[in-house]
C-alpha cells in the first residue's frame, strides 16, 4: 500500500459565505503525478493553495507526510519549504533570470557555488541554458513560465504543485515540460498538476481527480 503525502479530511473553504471547496476525503499518494481537472471555478486553484499551505481551510483536517498541519504552529515554515507551487501567472522579480531562479536557494542559505551550479542545471533542464543574465521581465510569456518552472525545480521539493503549466507554451516547450515532469516521481517528487490541456495531462497522470463545484466528482462531465 503506498502512502499518502497529502490527506484531506472534511476540508471546507468558503469565500464570503460561499462554499468553494468541500472535500470529505482526498488522499494524494507520494511519488505519483496526480492531475486535477474540472471546469472554471471548480476550486482547483483553491485546492492547490490549500495543499501549498498558503490558504488555511475553514474546516477540516489537513495532513502532510503524516503530520497534521496547524496554520498557527511553529512548524509551518518547515513544511512549506517542502512544497513548491508554480502559480497560474508566473510572478518574476525585476532582476536577472539567474537571480530569480536562485531566490529560494538564497533563502535556504545555500552556498554560492552550489547555488550557481543548481541554477545552471535547472535552466538547462527547461531549455533556457544561457538565459541566466537576461532580465526576467523582458522575456516572453512562455519563457517566463519556463523560468518559473526552473525556480521550482531548483529547490528539489518533496511536492511540486503546478497550476496550468502548459497554458502559454508552444508545442516544443510543452514537450520539454512534459518530459521534465514525467521524470520527477522517479526522483522522489510528488506532483499535483491542474490542467485543461487534457491530452497532455492524461499522458502524465498516474491518478486523476475531478472537481465540480468544489466537490470530488466520480468522472469528467458528471
Name the site residues for ligand ATP (rule: CB under 6 A).
15, 20, 38, 40-46
CB closer to Mg ion out of 46 and 173: 46
Determine, following the binding rule CB under 5 A, whether residue 195 of this chain makes contact with Mg ion.
Answer: no
Supply the minimum distance, in Å, between the C-beta of residue 166 and ligand ATP: 13
Q: Which residues, 6 or more positions from 76, have their beta carbon under 8 angstroms from its beta carbon?
A: 53, 69, 70
**3-class state of residue 152 by DSSP:** helix
CA 51, 21, 209, 67 dihedral sign is positive
Supply the minimum distance, in Å, between the C-beta of residue 129 and ligand ATP: 31
CB closer to ligand ATP out of 100 and 145: 145
Supply the minimum distance, in Å, between the C-beta of residue 64 and ligand ATP: 20
The 10 Å Cβ neighbour count of residue 135 is 12
Kindly state the helix (H) or strand (E) to which residue 124 belongs, with its residue range: helix 112-125
Q: Which of ligand ATP, Mg ion, none has residue 195 at its interface (CB below 5 to 8 Å by kind)?
A: none
Q: Rounded to whole angstroms, how far apart are CA atoms 184 and 194? A: 16
Q: Which of 47, 46, 45, 43 is nearest to 26 (CA)?
A: 47
CB closer to ligand ATP out of 179 and 207: 207
Supply the minimum distance, in Å, between the C-beta of residue 88 and Mg ion: 5
Residue identified by cell 542545471 is 121
Determine, following the binding rule CB under 5 A, whether residue 49 of this chain makes contact with Mg ion.
Answer: no
Q: Rounded to whole angstroms, how far apart are CA atoms 165 and 149? A: 8
Supply the minimum distance, in Å, between the C-beta of residue 105 and Mg ion: 28
CB closer to Mg ion out of 89 and 175: 89
Q: Are 4 and 19 in contact (CB under 8 A)?
A: no
CB closer to Mg ion out of 167 and 182: 167
Give the binding site for Mg ion (CB under 5 A).
44-45
Amino acid at each position: 500500500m503506498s502512502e499518502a503525502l497529502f490527506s484531506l479530511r472534511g476540508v471546507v473553504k468558503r469565500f464570503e459565505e460561499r462554499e468553494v471547496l468541500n472535500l470529505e476525503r482526498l488522499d494524494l499518494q507520494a511519488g505519483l503525478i496526480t492531475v486535477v481537472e474540472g471546469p472554471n471555478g471548480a476550486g482547483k486553484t483553491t485546492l492547490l493553495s490549500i495543499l501549498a499551505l498558503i490558504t488555511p481551510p475553514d474546516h477540516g483536517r489537513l495532513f502532510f507526510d503524516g503530520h497534521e498541519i496547524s496554520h498557527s504552529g511553529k512548524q509551518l515554515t518547515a513544511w512549506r519549504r517542502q512544497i513548491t507551487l508554480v502559480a497560474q501567472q508566473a510572478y518574476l522579480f525585476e532582476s536577472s533570470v539567474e537571480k530569480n531562479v536562485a531566490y529560494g536557494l538564497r533563502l535556504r542559505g545555500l552556498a554560492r557555488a552550489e547555488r550557481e551550479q543548481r541554477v545552471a542545471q535547472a535552466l538547462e533542464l527547461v531549455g533556457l541554458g544561457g538565459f541566466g543574465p537576461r532580465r526576467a521581465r523582458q522575456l516572453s510569456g512562455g519563457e517566463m513560465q519556463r523560468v518559473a518552472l526552473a525556480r521550482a525545480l531548483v529547490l528539489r521539493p518533496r511536492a511540486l504543485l503546478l497550476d496550468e503549466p502548459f497554458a502559454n507554451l508552444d508545442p516544443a516547450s510543452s514537450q520539454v515540460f512534459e518530459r521534465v515532469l514525467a521524470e520527477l516521481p522517479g526522483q522522489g517528487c510528488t506532483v499535483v498538476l491542474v490542467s485543461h490541456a487534457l491530452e497532455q495531462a492524461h499522458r502524465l497522470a498516474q491518478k486523476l481527480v475531478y472537481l465540480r463545484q468544489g466537490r470530488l466528482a466520480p468522472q469528467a462531465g458528471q
